[in-house]
Amino acid sequence: MRKYFGTDGIRGTANSWPMTAETALRVGMAAGSAFTSGDHRHRVVIGKDTRLSGYTIENALVAGFLSVGMNVFQFGPLPTPAVAMLTRSLRADLGVMISASHNPFHDNGIKLFGPDGYKLTDETELEIEKLIEADSKTLMVAPDRLGRAQRIEDAQARYIESAKRTLPRGFRLDGMRVVVDCANGAAYKVAPAALWELGAEVFAIGTEPNGFNINEDCGSTSPQKLCEKVREMRADIGIALDGDADRCLIVDEAGRSIDGDQIMALIATSWRQDDRLAANGVVATVMSNLGFERYLAGMDLDLVRSQVGDRYVVEEMRKGGYNLGGEQSGHIILSDFSTTGDGLVAALQVLAAVKRSGKPVSEVCRLFEPVPQLLKNVRFKQGRPLEEASVKQAIEDGGARLGTSGRLVIRPSGTEPLIRVMGEGDDAGLVKAVVNDIVDALKDVG
């Protein structure tokens, strides 16, 4: 059992356990110690999104890393994939992103990357947890070995150039009207700049962070304003990022949202045509739509499913040699370019396919008809509701009713006290009935 780490690092309400300055200090000391070996001067890079609590967490982490002898390079607001990329580029021993991703401002989190730019394994996180609980005096170095901290001023420019290089040489977006919603988050400067430098006519929203408005009625979890803006500006496409810009959703010219499954289907089709798709398939999670799986099967491509969380998608991709994977929520991992989900780079791949086709986004990005799918979240106060006999029976009965024409995915959230109940199948009415029965069973015991 892990005490601090969830499915995507450490996360919680800011200034409450575990997301306190004290915990951040100890995480810095523990993670720094875990990645310190040999006599060379070790270094860690730190980025963050735009939450007010980021100042508290960042300063505490910096103090922790310095106390165990690591030099710290601070980027300020920068997308998660940029931190992963710069961890490798700057030959750092460790990368840190301070963000709670798509969560509201009052939450925050700490994501850690190894020197290869990949998120840490469960085993490494457990090792860090043991050091968090250790006597801090055993981790601190002598006064003459303390680390130094400095700001890296060109981190944003480095990432913009890296993102642009994922496109073919000479590719331009001239003539395209693009609306981008940066969720008042980490990409509020870099995303509009990258699109403008590629020649697009850019209309940016969600670019006025104030510490409180990250993901607030904007971004990939709330694309309504983006949909309206696309219609208002008669734009060709809308791009919705989340707070740390590791995911994206697309909006077509009519102001209709397009999810991560459709984005993966488009990229898989495009890359298959260009003979760039590795391992004859795509990796997605158990939450991806059955319609997506059937679409890939029609092209003789496999859909390999992982547990929920982009880190688990990446693990499956590395194990099987796949270069495309992601989640329905918009985490798209293109391992030819990045070690984690990258909303901007994924959006650029979509733009490239649209530009090449000469067709509207509504045609290019809607490649399959999704199977009716329903997801409901049930909050619980304590205990293990999924272990209750009545809940187990409801799940078993629901699975039998759906049969081979549908499926159920019931899982606890890794970041909140929620049980997520997802059902899908060809019969929308049956799916709704099955999901509601399981939700009622959970509420009865929760």
E strand segments, 118-212? 149-151, 177-181, 201-205
Taking alpha carbons only, the member of 302, 260, 313 closest to residue 278 is: 302
Cα-based angle 75, 78, 84 (whole degrees, multiple of 5): 85
* Cβ neighbours of residue 346 closer than 8 Å, sequence gap 6 or more: 248, 263, 267, 326, 330, 332, 334
Could you say which of 364, 386, 404 is where a domain stops?
A: 364
Domain identity same for 34 and 124? yes
Domain identity same for 26 and 133? yes
The predicted model gives 261-287 an average pLDDT of 96
Q: Where residue 8 falls among pLDDT bands split at 50, 70, 90?
A: confident
Pick the catalytic residue from 101, 288, 329, 335.
101
Q: Where residue 37 falls among pLDDT bands split at 50, 70, 90?
A: confident
Domain identity same for 69 and 146? yes
The predicted model gives 407-422 an average pLDDT of 88
Domain identity same for 208 and 317? no
Q: What is the pLDDT of residue 280?
A: 94
Q: What is the pLDDT of residue 383?
A: 83
Domain identity same for 441 and 325? no
Say if 147 falls within a structural domain. yes
Q: What is the pLDDT of residue 154?
A: 96
Domain identity same for 29 and 98? yes
Say if 164 falls within a structural domain. yes
Q: What is the pLDDT of residue 289?
A: 95
Domain identity same for 16 and 137? yes
Structural domains in the chain (count) = 4
What is the average pLDDT value for the chain, to the nearest integer?
Answer: 95
Q: What is the pLDDT of residue 131?
A: 97
Domain identity same for 205 and 298? no
Say if 255 falls within a structural domain. no
Q: What is the pLDDT of residue 344?
A: 98
Q: What are 188's two structure tokens?
A: 């509020």
CATH code of the domain covering residue 391:
3.30.310.50
Say if 64 falls within a structural domain. yes
Say if 251 falls within a structural domain. no
Say if 250 falls within a structural domain. no
Q: What is the pLDDT of residue 223?
A: 97
The predicted model gives 138-142 an average pLDDT of 95
Domain identity same for 180 and 140? no
Lowest mean pLDDT of 55-64, 331-340, 415-424, 433-442, name the range: 415-424
Pairing state between β 177-181 and 237-241: parallel
Q: What is the pLDDT of residue 366?
A: 96
Domain identity same for 336 and 293? yes
The predicted model gives 86-98 an average pLDDT of 97
Q: Where residue 309 falls among pLDDT bands split at 50, 70, 90?
A: confident
Q: What is the pLDDT of residue 6?
A: 87
E strand segments, 255-399? 257-258, 281-285, 302-306, 324-326, 332-334, 373-379
* Cβ neighbours of residue 123 closer than 8 Å, sequence gap 6 or more: none
Q: Computed from CA positions of residues 164, 311, 6, 91, in that sequence, does the dihedral angle turn out positive or negative?
A: negative
Phi, psi of 7, deg, nearest 5: -75, -20
The predicted model gives 210-225 an average pLDDT of 97
Give the domain extent around 63: 5-153
Q: Is a pLDDT exceeding 70 seen at residue 25? A: yes
Q: Where residue 63 falls among pLDDT bands split at 50, 70, 90?
A: very high
Domain identity same for 299 and 345? yes
Q: Is a pLDDT exceeding 80 seen at residue 1? A: no
Domain identity same for 197 and 231? yes
Say if 248 falls within a structural domain. no
Q: Where residue 2 falls among pLDDT bands split at 50, 70, 90?
A: confident
Q: Is a pLDDT exceeding 90 seen at residue 178? A: yes
Q: Is a pLDDT exceeding 80 seen at residue 414? A: no
Could you say which of 298, 330, 364 is where a domain stops?
A: 364
Q: What is the pLDDT of residue 192?
A: 98
Could you say which of 364, 398, 416 is where a domain stops?
A: 364
Q: What is the pLDDT of residue 354?
A: 97
Q: Where residue 415 falls among pLDDT bands split at 50, 70, 90?
A: low
Say if 20 falls within a structural domain. yes
- Our answer to whether residue 357 is catalytic in this structure is no
CATH code of the domain covering residue 27:
3.40.120.10
pTM assigned to the model = 0.92
Q: Where residue 128 falls among pLDDT bands split at 50, 70, 90?
A: very high
d(CA 373, CA 418): 19
Q: What is the pLDDT of residue 445?
A: 87
Lowest mean pLDDT of 6-10, 133-137, 289-293, 406-410, name the range: 6-10
Q: Is a pLDDT exceeding 80 seen at residue 446? A: no
